[in-house]
Amino acid sequence: MKKTTIYNLVFTFLGLTLMSSCGTKENQNITETKVIESPIVEVKIEAEDLVNSSTNFDVVELDGVSYISFPSEGWVEVDVNIPETGSYKTELKISTPSDKVTCWVEDFVDNTEGRTFNITGRMIVDDANFSSVYKDGSPFEKGIHKKMKIHFDGPVNIDWIKFTLIAPLYSSPENLTQKMDGKEWKVVWADEFEGTELDTTKWTYDIGNWGWGNMESQYYTFDRKENARVEDGNLIIEARKHDMGQEWTSARITTRGKTSFTYGKIEFKAKIPVKKGSWAAGWTLGDSFVHQASWPECGEIDILETVGYEIDNVTGDGVAHASVHCKAYYHVIGNHKTFTVDVDNMNAEYHIYSVEWTPEKIIGYVDGVAYSHYENTGEIDAWPFDKPQNIILNLAIGGWGGRQGISETIVSQKMIVDYIRVYDLQ
């Protein structure tokens, strides 16, 4: 069987009913989901079209189907031509003679920085018959991805790997470059979260459960009020346990594809959940981001990050983090520029988290008090912050938030945002 590429531009329904936890059989449905109308764009690679493997294997022909069989742990490499830049469902048709095998997919194998780009997180294979395991939301850039690796920690049979577009990635058509030579801050963009619906002229959703580069546990859903809603003048982002067939669901909203920003004051007013496992954040990501390898060159400004295990469950007293990530300084190499400050009663009292971002520096604040300071020294790799950034608000479970485990007593976590505003100096 040869490589099959499908570019079907007939509109059909490609919805979240396709999206479930890894190890789920192909015919299992997920209820209470939204549907996205989108053309089908997918590419499927037959396993026997591999370009390299770590171990010997057999090519098996059975009932008109051919597949490759690996007797032990290892990896196989395939070349993949991604047809369109965007977020993809990454799916394997696979089986195992073992009780359970873990597999995952690696991109950018030949990167010169020695980084490992896990673009699916762990997928569990536990069936002797062929079934589909998959993760949603993996970011890919259009073009040929050489030597993409499928890793497995035990014996497996692999029929194919397939990539199906979930959502195209669009750069923001509008960039607001804030004036920084005035004397008084004036609002130039804001969402006060009034009414009953999220303003989709300002926000879109990131979708999926591929781990987001941090081994996070949640599935970010699309336009699902159980996870993101406007209520009583607030944005509520809610993480829910054992929901929608997932371990956790939550939401991540972004201005990407709508509006990006260069310079200015960005602030939001929020309450943060307690108990270990959660990771709440308000931050910016460079508009040039298209996949994992474009970070941290694209730049990232963390206005607020906070994890539940640093917050007292009774008092709500915790720690706010403000950081920047760039090619010169980022957490993977352990030298990212980060700052912390103690904050009282983070969960029951609103606090204002902000940054003032100018061509010369980025300063972080809580309730108007500065606690972080990052300067533009003129080093190119240390200052991608002269280019547009998109705003993101999200609530993750696991990842950094799960370093001390996830509390077994929580079934719901909420990040409550009163407003978010962008200012320039006039």
* E strands, 169-206, in order: 174-177, 185-191, 204-205
- Active-site option among 42, 300, 310, 356: 300
382 touches 374 (CB < 8 A): no
Q: 35-58 burial, b for 16+ CB within 10 Å, e for fewer?
A: ebebeebbbbbbbbbbeebeeebe
Q: How many helices (H) and strands (E) does the chain have?
A: 0, 32
Instruction: Kindly provide the residue ranges of all beta strands, DSSP E only, lying in 259-387, ordered along the sequence.
Output: 259-262, 264-271, 278-286, 300-307, 318-325, 337-343, 351-357, 361-366, 369-375
Active-site residue (options: 42, 305, 310, 356): 305
Q: Per the structure block, which two tokens stand in for 150?
A: 């499928």
SS3 299: coil
Characterise 23 by phi-psi region: left (phi > 0), alpha (psi -120 to 50), beta (else): left
Active site residue 46: no
Sequence-distant (6+) residues with CB within 8 A of 225 are none
Q: Please name every residue paired with 35 in a beta bridge, in sequence order, or none if there are none.
A: 15
**Gyration radius (Cα) of the chain, Å:** 22
**Are 356 and 363 in contact, with CB atoms under 8 Å apart?**
yes
Distance CA(198)–CA(399), nearest Å, equals: 27
Please confirm, yes or no, whether 305 is among the known catalytic residues.
yes
Catalytic residues: 300, 305
